[in-house]
């Protein structure tokens, strides 16, 4: 087997196995990264430092003010040597994510060199691919999906278990559940000093491809499912969780006037910074027939139960 002490060899490995760079999904590239570089090692900063060194990449920490605005890290090649820079005082999870993100961005031009027919991703696309690759390395698809079901799709519990942000966990849930289950999830946060402007900062969803009729169109229903930037609606499930600092659950959400449809089932859980003072709120929605999948989260949080809503979450 060839040495993997150079990014080129890793890229050749991908091409040899999958035929072309774009034939391998970001999850598959992440699987290969773990198989080639991690083996049975724990995925932590010490291991990533060793991987970087093996690939001829130097990791550098920088004070936040020395980084380009709004960036947690970047990479460059100086005097023929590869460098990754990350924010010195970032969280451990943030540093790990930055290193993996920059690794994925660094291999993109190498793919073009070794496979001339490959059309390299453009700036925004490679950034998104790098985000997904980093998350897929940190939260492997199969094991993460199993843990998501084990916790009852509990974003806060998963965040604590993996030491990852609620936003990263939520978005990964949408990816690993896609094709398996209808699911909508949102994260509400408040950045204002007076704590009165709660909005959706992240949202995701998945559909059930195994049973196409077991779905609701997230993009229809005239804004029923809140998107990024949507301000919390008064008397909504998330609003109740924010105001009381307690988990709330609605057992039946009807969508059509005058019809006893099967409806939806939803739970809103606050992440408390102090008693009754939430810092974030997660909202998870499933078809009512899939409500049992939330059982572990329900048993853990002992929610306030609301009987029904009509046409709102």
- The band of 70, judged by pLDDT with boundaries at 50, 70 and 90, is confident
Q: Can you read off the two tokens belonging to residue 125?
A: 């696309």
The answer to whether residue 226 scores a pLDDT higher than 50 is yes
- The band of 3, judged by pLDDT with boundaries at 50, 70 and 90, is very low
- The band of 2, judged by pLDDT with boundaries at 50, 70 and 90, is very low
In this structure, CATH architecture of domain 141-310: 2-Layer Sandwich (3.30)
- The band of 253, judged by pLDDT with boundaries at 50, 70 and 90, is very high
Residue environment code for 25-54, b if the CB has 16+ CB neighbours within 10 A, otherwise e: ebbbbbbbbeebbeeeeebeeeebeebbee
What are the strands, taking DSSP E only, across the chain? 57-62, 73-78, 81-87, 180-190, 198-208, 248-254, 264-274, 277-287, 304-306, 309-310
Q: What mean pLDDT do residues 17-25 have?
A: 96
- Report the percent of the chain where pLDDT is more than 70: 96
Q: Are 232 and 242 in contact (CB under 8 A)?
A: yes
219 vs 198, residue with greater confidence: 198
Q: What mean pLDDT do residues 187-214 have?
A: 88
Written out in words, the top-level CATH class of the domain with range 7-138 is mainly alpha
* pLDDT computed for residue 183 by the predictor: 95
The answer to whether residue 240 scores a pLDDT higher than 50 is yes
* pLDDT computed for residue 255 by the predictor: 83
- Cβ neighbours of residue 220 under 8 Å, at least 6 residues apart? none
* pLDDT computed for residue 157 by the predictor: 98
* pLDDT computed for residue 242 by the predictor: 95
Q: What mean pLDDT do residues 266-286 have?
A: 94
In 3D space, the residue among 132, 117, 103, 127 whose CA is nearest the CA of residue 15 turns out to be: 117
Helix axis angle for 155-162 and 141-150, nearest 10°, is 130
Domain residue extents for the chain: 7-138, 141-310
Helix axis angle for 26-33 and 123-138, nearest 10°, is 50
Q: Are 181 and 286 in contact (CB under 8 A)?
A: yes
- Report the percent of the chain where pLDDT is more than 90: 75
Q: From edge to edge, which strands make up the β-sheet containing 73-78?
A: 57-62, 81-87, 73-78
Work out the mean pLDDT of the chain and round it to a whole number: 91
DSSP characters over 61-104: EE-GGGSPTT-SEEEEEETTEEEEEEETTS-HHHHHHHHHHHHH
Q: How do residues 142-178 score in pLDDT, each as one tens digit?
A: 999 999 999 999 999 999 999 999 999 999 999 999 9
- The band of 111, judged by pLDDT with boundaries at 50, 70 and 90, is very high
- The band of 39, judged by pLDDT with boundaries at 50, 70 and 90, is confident
* pLDDT computed for residue 14 by the predictor: 96
- The band of 223, judged by pLDDT with boundaries at 50, 70 and 90, is confident
Q: Is the pTM of this model over 0.85?
A: yes
CB atoms within 10 A of CB 62: 14
How many residues appear in the chain? 313
- Cβ neighbours of residue 311 under 8 Å, at least 6 residues apart? 224, 253, 254, 255
Half-sphere CA count of 206, side-chain side, radius 13 A: 22
* pLDDT computed for residue 258 by the predictor: 57
Q: What mean pLDDT do residues 131-136 have?
A: 96
98 vs 276, residue with greater confidence: 98
Helix axis angle for 166-177 and 141-150, nearest 10°, is 100
């Amino acid at each position: 087997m060839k040495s993997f002490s150079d990014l080129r060899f890793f890229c050749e490995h991908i091409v040899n196995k999958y035929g072309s760079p774009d034939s391998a999904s970001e999850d598959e590239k992440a699987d290969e990264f773990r198989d080639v570089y991690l083996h049975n090692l724990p995925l932590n900063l010490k291991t990533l430092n060793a991987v970087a060194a093996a690939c001829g990449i130097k990791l550098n920490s920088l004070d936040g003010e020395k980084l380009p605005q709004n960036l947690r890290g970047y990479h460059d090649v100086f005097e023929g040597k590869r460098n990754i820079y990350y924010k010195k005082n970032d969280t451990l999870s943030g540093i790990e994510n930055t290193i993996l993100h920059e690794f994925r961005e660094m291999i993109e031009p190498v793919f073009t060199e070794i496979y001339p027919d490959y059309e390299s991703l453009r700036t925004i696309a490679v950034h998104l691919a790098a985000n997904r690759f980093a998350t897929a390395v940190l939260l492997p698809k199969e094991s993460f999906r199993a843990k998501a079901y084990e916790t009852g799709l509990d974003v806060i519990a998963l965040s604590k278990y993996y030491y990852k942000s609620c936003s990263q966990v939520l978005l990964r849930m949408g990816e690993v559940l896609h094709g398996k289950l209808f699911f909508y999830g949102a994260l509400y946060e408040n950045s204002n000093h007076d704590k009165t402007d709660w909005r959706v900062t992240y949202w995701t969803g998945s559909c059930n491809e195994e049973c196409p009729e077991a779905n609701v169109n997230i993009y229809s229903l005239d804004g029923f499912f809140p998107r990024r930037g949507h301000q919390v609606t008064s008397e909504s499930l998330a609003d109740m969780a924010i105001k009381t600092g307690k988990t709330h659950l609605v057992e039946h959400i009807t969508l059509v006037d005058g019809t006893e449809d099967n409806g939806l089932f939803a739970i809103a859980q606050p992440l408390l910074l102090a008693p009754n003072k939430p810092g974030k709120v997660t909202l998870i929605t499933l078809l009512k027939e899939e409500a049992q999948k939330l059982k572990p989260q329900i048993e853990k949080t002992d929610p306030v139960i609301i009987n029904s809503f009509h046409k709102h979450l």
